[in-house]
Amino acid sequence: MNRGMGRAGKALKQVLKSYGISQNKVAVALGVDRSIVFRWFHEQTDPTGETIADIVKVLKEIEPAAAQKFVEVYLGELIKDEDEEPL
């Protein structure tokens, strides 16, 4: 399995729970079916890079602090993974 799989979903789940934002609200704002957000949320599929940028935009409209946290968690996971590479 791809080590990066689910990273965006994990960040999304953490942020939506922390800020009390529904999956449906994100789906409506993105103009996608709620089942798509559900699959990201449960780390079954990953959004594309372009979609991740769209997620940040809609979170910014819903709750700016949530958008900031999403980026921090998502990029933090990226950086942490890099640090854990064996030498």
Residue 1 located in a structural domain: no
Count of domains in the chain? 1
What's the CATH number where 38 sits?
Answer: 1.10.260
- Which tens digits make up the pLDDT trace of 44-87? 999 999 999 999 999 999 999 999 999 999 998 777 765 555 55
The predicted structure's pLDDT at residue 74:
92
| pTM: predicted TM-score of the whole model, two decimal places | 0.83
The predicted structure's pLDDT at residue 1:
40
Residue 24 located in a structural domain: yes
The predicted structure's pLDDT at residue 83:
57
Residue 2 located in a structural domain: no
The Cα–Cα gap between 87 and 56 comes to: 33
Dihedral, 75, 17, 25, 63 alpha carbons, nearest 10: -60
Give the domain range for residue 71: 7-83
- Which tens digits make up the pLDDT trace of 1-52? 445 678 899 999 999 999 999 999 999 999 999 999 999 999 999 999 999 9
